[in-house]
């Protein structure tokens, strides 16, 4: 199981290297987060020695249960799903970063608990890439105000960039357009807020090579690593 897991990671890494080179970058600039939601701790452990950069989970309760079975803190665990404010304290006990910050209220709640605990949290702001009501994330026109609020009021949140989920059945053109528009928005936000925003988390099992070509620095890959959920 371990050998297969490592081989799957290496084969994705090789493709990512090539896609990064096509866009004038190096595969080393692209982090690979293994999305382990709905998979067991045993399945996750098979990846412990593979060249991945962390695990992604989208439900607090599931992550709490898994951490109890696997308290090892070697690889960072990232919260990639919508976080409810009443679960902030629980989430902070098991996650090392939040990729799905999507409101001022959530930022302020996080700030309060982080200040109390005396720690900083790396976070990405999740941006909705289409008008789809079912989609999570903040509408693009709300992102600047959120960043400004964080700069003035949330010293314990370290905003490292933006995250988006590509259109679910958008095809290549719509997907690339969503990813390139997030990259362009990052450029505008850099100028207007002065934040470096080094990271763009975009790209899942079905669209990660397009994402790399459009500038992704963090891939969140589940199915292509773990199989179907």
Ligand X SMILES: *Cc1c(COP(=O)(O)O)cnc(C)c1O
Nearer to ligand X, 100 or 185 (CB): 100
CA distance 172 to 127: 19
List helix spans (H) across 35-81.
41-45, 60-69
Give the number of other CB atoms < 10 A from CB of residue 74: 8
Q: Does 223 bind ligand X (CB under 6 A)?
A: yes
CA distance 146 to 228: 35
Q: What is the DSSP string of 127-153?
A: B--S--TT--SB-GGGHHHHHHHHHHH
CB of 152: closest distance to ligand X in angstroms?
28
Nearer to ligand X, 154 or 221 (CB): 221
Q: Does 35 bind ligand X (CB under 6 A)?
A: yes
Strands 121-126, 157-163: pairing is parallel
- The region of 60-68, 146-154, 172-180, 221-229 touching ligand X under the rule CB under 6 A is 221-229
Q: What part of residues 176-205 is at the interface with ligand X (CB under 6 A)?
A: 204-205
Q: Does 220 bind ligand X (CB under 6 A)?
A: yes
- Tokens 């958008």 belong to 170
Q: Does 11 bind ligand X (CB under 6 A)?
A: no
CB of 204: closest distance to ligand X in angstroms?
4
Count of residues interacting with ligand X (CB under 6 A): 14
Nearer to ligand X, 35 or 110 (CB): 35
Nearer to ligand X, 15 or 117 (CB): 15
- The region of 108-116, 152-160, 172-180, 216-224 touching ligand X under the rule CB under 6 A is 216-224
Helix orientation angle between 104-117 and 143-153, rounded to the nearest 10 degrees:
20
Contact 12, 224 (CB under 8 A): yes
Give the number of other CB atoms < 10 A from CB of residue 174: 14
Nearer to ligand X, 31 or 156 (CB): 31
113 burial type by CB count under 10 A (0-12 exposed, 13-18 middle, 19+ buried): middle
CB of 81: closest distance to ligand X in angstroms?
6
Q: What part of residues 66-95 is at the interface with ligand X (CB under 6 A)?
A: 80-81
Q: Does 130 bind ligand X (CB under 6 A)?
A: no
In the complex, the residues that contact ligand X under the rule CB under 6 A are 35, 37, 58, 80-81, 165, 204-206, 220-224
């Amino acid at each position: 199981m371990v050998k297969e897991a490592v081989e799957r990671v290496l084969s994705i890494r090789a493709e990512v290297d090539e896609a990064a080179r096509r866009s004038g970058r190096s595969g080393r600039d692209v982090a690979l987060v293994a999305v382990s939601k709905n998979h067991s701790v045993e399945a996750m452990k098979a990846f412990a020695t593979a060249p991945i950069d962390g695990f992604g989970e989208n439900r607090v309760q599931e992550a709490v249960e898994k951490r109890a079975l696997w308290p090892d803190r070697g690889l960072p665990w990232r919260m990639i799903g919508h976080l409810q404010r009443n679960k902030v304290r629980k989430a902070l006990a098991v996650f090392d970063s939040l990729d799905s910050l999507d409101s001022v209220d959530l930022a302020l709640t996080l700030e309060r608990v982080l200040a109390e605990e005396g720690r900083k949290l790396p976070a990405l702001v999740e941006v909705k890439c289409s008008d789809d009501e079912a989609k999570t994330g903040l509408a693009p026109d709300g992102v600047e105000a959120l960043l400004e609020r964080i700069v003035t009021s949330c010293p314990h949140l370290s905003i490292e960039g933006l995250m988006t989920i590509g259109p679910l059945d958008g095809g290549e053109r719509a997907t690339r357009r969503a990813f390139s528009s997030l990259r362009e928005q990052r450029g505008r936000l850099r100028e207007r807020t002065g934040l470096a925003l080094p990271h763009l988390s975009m790209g899942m099992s079905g669209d990660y090579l397009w994402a790399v070509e459009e500038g992704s620095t963090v891939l969140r890959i589940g199915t292509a690593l773990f199989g179907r959920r």
